[in-house]
Structure 1
Amino acid sequence: MSSTGFPRADAEHDFLRARRRQVLSRLANWLRREPDDVNIMLPFDEVVEALGYEGEQRLGLRVIRLDSIVGSVDRGRDFDRRFRPTSGRVRERWERLALAARRGESIPPIEVYRVGELHFIIDGHHRVSVAHALRLSTIDAYVTVVRTKLNPAGIRYRGDLIVKDYRRLFLDRVPLAGGARAEVVLREHWHYAMLGEHVEAWGFRLMQDEGIFLDRVAVANRWYEQEYRPVVEMLRQADLVGDRTEAEAYMWVAAERYRLIRTHRWDDEVIETLRSSHRR
């Protein structure tokens, strides 16, 4: 960090520099036509709701990386995603903390929730903002771990929560486990709803054919072993997965199957039709 030798003036410059960077970042996002939520902190409550709350445990005092702090419990409007001030409203307190830091005074630890590898501030937004402005890489924090049904990996922006929320609902309907759970991945949130309905319909037909009742776990396991994996393996061998995920390729060919079955034709032209559809 630069220094003039006058801590108070340096603290004032620190704040003005952080505000200028925040405004320039907003302008850059506008020029690039990036989503509105690209610079917004992730809201803790929405993240936990999307992932499914299971429990929590207090760890105590830890040293955490500043770049792992991505969200807030209740102060998202005062700072952007990189904890730059969004207005002059926080200036007085911000400069007071910056002045203390430049004088080498002790700054109390912040308090955070930990979800996976991500941290969400309960208390200490100004301290994190000042630490970022002073180019620090770590900060002391009292950490409480929150366990969730889904792993938060892949969450970058608020919009990513929609996909996580639909995936959680899909896995409630189709309770896959282990490797099967990890393999079935879709990139569009509504595809999870469509696939869930498809698996339920497949399970209903299976129960009709066998004249037995199967619970959701049994249907999910049999769909994965008897339907999903064999179809995906054939798609791979036929080089028909393309740039889709395997689950997306399965959904595509399943939709084509039900469309083609209405023609009552199952000759070599059907495969060529699939290949032509794949190339479009």
Structure 2
Amino acid sequence: MSTGSPSQDAQHDFSRARRARLLSDVARRLRGEPDDVAMILPFEEVVDALGRVGQVDRGLQVVQLDDIVGTVDRAADFDRGFRPTTQRLRSRWERIAAAQRRGEAMPPVSLFKVGDLYFVRDGHHRVSVAKSQGRDDIDAYVTEVTTKLKLSHDLRVSELPLKDHERLFRERVPLTPQQRARISLSDPWDFGWLAEMVEAWGFRMMQERGHFADRYEVANLWFEQEYAPVSDMLSEGGLTEPEETEAEAYMRLAGQRYLLLRTHEWSDEIVNRLRRGNDKKRRRLPRRRRRARY
């Protein structure tokens, strides 16, 4: 809607954007979604968690506004939809909105690209105004940043520690993509524990075989000879719990096996002994004691 006065229309644009942000918050809470679903992604924290590899200048491009989800340094000023979160942005925001309504040319914004998503380096107000006025795209100078882990469109701020620990786990235990697909953990700290278990398994394997194996060989042998067959055996033996992932069940039961039986071996008898009469005793064990070191 236009009144014919760019300045007045810009004021309405800002009020509408602020109202849309508040209504979005209400709807999110009614749906029971976590608060950080609407939080804008911080660029440095994201690339640190994913593992920065390098960057390259991609020049001037046309970028879809819905793919811009993050910021370099304005996380407190905008939500993930680039709606303003504070009234102190009003003056500059309205000046840009009025200029756009008058048809004035705007310089391209500056963006970092990570995966298929973008982070604003310069031009936050221009992006916010463009989205508020219903535009689909914007001109931008793009710098593409490559990372070790892929950035997913639904990544939340609270998941960044998980990504950071997952990246370190992948460096210590370089599995293939197909193998990694079976490793899922809810607690970020567990990636460190699992990496220690793999490295300890590799050390024992090298002692038994009498020759050195690099991380790639250890990771592959651990997965093929230990993790996959043992996880299948534990599942078939009814030792996993409904709320656990496969990897969490493996870690829990490997720790219980050593605490109860003082062995690193797996067999049908070991599985049966774990199953018999130890549930109450295991539940009393503190969380970290369950995950005994190898």
The answer to whether the superposition gives a TM-score over 0.5 is yes
Q: Is the CA contact 1:235–1:241 (under 8 Å) kept in the aligned structure 2? A: no
TM-score, normalised via structure 1 length: 0.85
Q: What 5-or-longer segments of structure 1 have no aligned partner? A: none
Q: Which amino acid in the other structure matches residue 168 of structure 2?
A: L
User: Which stretch of structure 1 is more off in the superposition, 92-101 or 37-46?
Assistant: 37-46
User: Which stretch of structure 1 is more off in the superposition, 36-45 or 162-171?
Assistant: 36-45
Q: Judging changes above 3 Å, is the alpha-carbon distance between structure 1 residues 178 and 26 closer, same or farther for their aligned structure 2 residues?
A: closer
Any idea what SS the aligned residue of 2:97 has? helix
Give the drift of 1:276: 10
Question: Residues 158-173 of structure 1 correspond to what in structure 2 (within 5 A)?
Answer: 158-173=157-172
Question: Residues 57-76 of structure 1 correspond to what in structure 2 (within 5 A)?
Answer: 57-76=56-75
1:179-213 per-position Cα deviation (integer Å, ceiling 9, x unaligned): 22343232321111111111112112212222333
Give the drift of 1:112: 0.6
Q: What 5-or-longer segments of structure 2 have no aligned partner? A: 282-294
1:254 maps to what in 2?
Answer: 254
Give the drift of 1:271: 4.0
Q: Judging changes above 3 Å, is the alpha-carbon distance between structure 1 residues 179 and 256 closer, same or farther for their aligned structure 2 residues?
A: same
CA distance in 2, matches of 1:214, 1:124: 51
Provide the aligned length of Structure 1 versus Structure 2: 277
Q: Is the CA contact 2:237–2:271 (under 8 Å) kept in the aligned structure 1? A: no
Q: Which amino acid in the other structure matches residue 64 of structure 1?
A: V
RMSD of aligned Cα (Å): 3.1
Give the drift of 1:122: 0.6
Q: Is the CA contact 1:256–1:274 (under 8 Å) kept in the aligned structure 2? A: no
Question: Residues 1-280 of structure 1 correspond to what in structure 2 (within 5 A)?
Answer: 2-26=1-25, 35=34, 37-153=36-152, 156-235=155-234, 237=236, 240=240, 242=242, 244-262=244-262, 266=270, 268=272, 270-271=274-275
Q: Judging changes above 3 Å, is the alpha-carbon distance between structure 1 residues 238 and 5 closer, same or farther for their aligned structure 2 residues?
A: farther
Q: Is the CA contact 1:207–1:214 (under 8 Å) kept in the aligned structure 2? A: yes
Q: Which amino acid in the other structure matches residue 220 of structure 2?
A: N
Q: Judging changes above 3 Å, is the alpha-carbon distance between structure 1 residues 266 and 147 closer, same or farther for their aligned structure 2 residues?
A: closer
Any idea what SS the aligned residue of 1:189 has? coil
TM-score, normalised via structure 2 length: 0.81
